[in-house]
Amino acid sequence: MPAAVITGLGVALPPSAVQDDLWEGFFAQHYAGGRSGLARRIFANSGVITRQAAVSPLLEDVSGWSTERRMRRYQDEAVPLGRAAAERALADAGRAASDLGLFAVCSCTGYATPGLDILLARDLGMSPNVQRLFVGHMGCYAALPGLGAVSDFVVARGRPALLLCTELTSLHMQPAGTGAADVQQIVSHALFSDAAAAAVLTPGPGPGAGYAVREVAAVTDTTTAGHMTWEVTDLGFRMGLSPEVPAVLSVHVRRLVEDLLGRHGLTIGEVDGWAVHPGGPKILDVVQEHLGLDDEALAASRGVLSAYGNCSSPTVLLVVDALRRRAQPPRRIVMLAFGPGLTLYGALLEFSTVAA
């Protein structure tokens, strides 16, 4: 059966900082006063050891910046970061940018026109005839609908495509406040990070090896739409993050996975690779519990959270990259990511190799 195959992955990261240094060097003062003890506990229990920021709070306090100023900085930082990830993915796949039929970009942390899709298509040397797709404001799960759209194009047109996810959450530092809404900001400031990740997909079967995209699936519970939000304000984008999110995921995640695998004659026990978006430790705990997985199954996801934080849409691709670099890469990978809606997305990948 024809399939799109992930034949190249590329990652680009801004400078990294230690979580404890971020706390001591900035956030302890940012949340000085009545919120200090709570904020310290949230940072300590985030599961994050190091993370990266294109705009580091240790160097620049952007919490009072206007949205306009943040968007201008987004263009300055996102273009070179996205280009680096795309170039690495193309090199990994052994493809030239001029080969591409489609270039898709996912980002929810900045907007401008011309955007990353236009500027990077130009800078990377893509054909003037390349088709472009921008997936915006979908948040942490955007890589999966992006992957689905790109896979469908590759299968339908028989041409390679590039998916790029680039997020600069560091640009959306919020002023310290009070009340329940401010607790949500503390959580997001303890977790979120910056990154770019890109994937090249080519028609398969064909020469080489990679992960064939067998299916992308989704479920959205609109009764909980207010549990996760990302609102444009005069001071950047402000996140709403209800503590009820893990409970909602617990209702839906097993059925989503079982239905996805069942359509391919598979069970949870036959999956040897799990790329679960590490939205936070509690989210990973819920997925592990309700899918009946052991600690090793989510080691890659927890490792990405620890080393890179929650980078929004690129994060699940970072986990896939970590899995494929193992001494014994998994044969089958289930990708899972979650975001506003509340929305759960899943994808089934299967290792595919055909001799040249």
Dist CA 93 CA 8 (whole Å): 4
Rg (CA), the chain: 19
CATH of domain 208-354: 3.40.47.10
Phi, psi (degrees; rounded to nearest 5) at 105 = -125, 135
pLDDT tens for the 356 residues of the chain, in order:
789 999 999 999 999 999 999 999 999 999 987 778 999 999 999 999 999 999 999 999 999 999 999 999 999 999 999 999 999 999 999 999 999 999 999 999 999 899 999 999 999 999 999 999 999 989 999 999 999 999 999 999 999 999 999 999 999 999 987 666 688 999 999 999 999 999 999 998 665 689 999 999 999 999 999 999 999 999 999 999 999 999 999 999 999 999 999 999 999 999 999 999 999 999 999 999 999 999 999 999 999 999 999 999 999 999 999 999 999 999 999 999 999 999 999 999 999 864 33
Residues facing residue 348 across a β-bridge: 215, 334
Beta strands in the chain (DSSP E): 3-12, 16-18, 50-52, 102-107, 131-136, 161-168, 194-204, 208-220, 228-233, 236-241, 273-276, 332-339, 343-354
Tokens of 208: 């080489």
- Look up residue 211 and give its two tokens: 């992960």
Domains 3-204 and 208-354 equal at CATH topology level: yes
Helix (H, G, I), strand (E, B) or coil at 149: helix
Q: Using the structure block, give the residue that is written with the tokens 């273009």.
A: 79
Question: How far, CA to CA in Å, does 224 sit from each of 29, 111, 254, 259?
Answer: 34, 26, 18, 22
Strand partners, 345: 218, 337
Task: Name the token pair of 33.
Answer: 């006063």
Go through the chain and tell me how many residues it has. Answer: 356
Judged by DSSP in three states, 249 sits in: helix
Report domain extents, the chain. 3-204, 208-354
Q: How far, in Å, are 157, 174, 222, 225, 250 from residue 244 at the CA level?
A: 42, 22, 14, 11, 10
What pTM value is reported for the model? 0.96
Q: Are 174 and 116 in contact (CB under 8 A)?
A: no
CATH, range 3-204: 3.40.47.10
Structure tokens at 99: 């080969």
Output the six-digit token pair for 300.
């890659």
Structure token digits, residue 16:
């990294």
Q: What is the pLDDT of residue 291?
A: 98
